[in-house]
């Protein structure tokens, strides 16, 4: 079952943080791997990546759904 769209525009600000402010990126290579993962997800997914900001202890993503895709999990 898919979820109801929570944004009238389909634009979302997503933030990922390390627990207790701990670093999630130790090496610069970690940030590069994260960016590669986002690119792969973008190719498979139905969203546009408007912008991102990677910091040592958190990440901001600004995305827009291309169409209603929901978040259902196949069991």
pLDDT at 65 over 60: yes
Which of 42, 69, 20, 6 is closest to 52 using CA atoms?
42
pLDDT at 59 over 80: yes
pLDDT tier at 56, thresholds 50, 70, 90: very high
Q: pLDDT per residue over 28-50, tens digit each?
A: 999 999 999 999 999 888 899 99
């Amino acid at each position: 079952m898919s979820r109801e769209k929570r944004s009238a525009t389909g634009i979302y600000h997503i933030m990922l943080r390390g627990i207790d402010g701990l670093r999630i990126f130790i090496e610069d290579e970690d940030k590069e791997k994260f960016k590669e993962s986002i690119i792969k997800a973008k190719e498979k997914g139905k969203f546009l990546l408007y912008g991102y900001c990677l910091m040592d202890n958190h990440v901001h993503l600004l995305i827009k759904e291309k169409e209603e895709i929901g978040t259902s999990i196949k069991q």
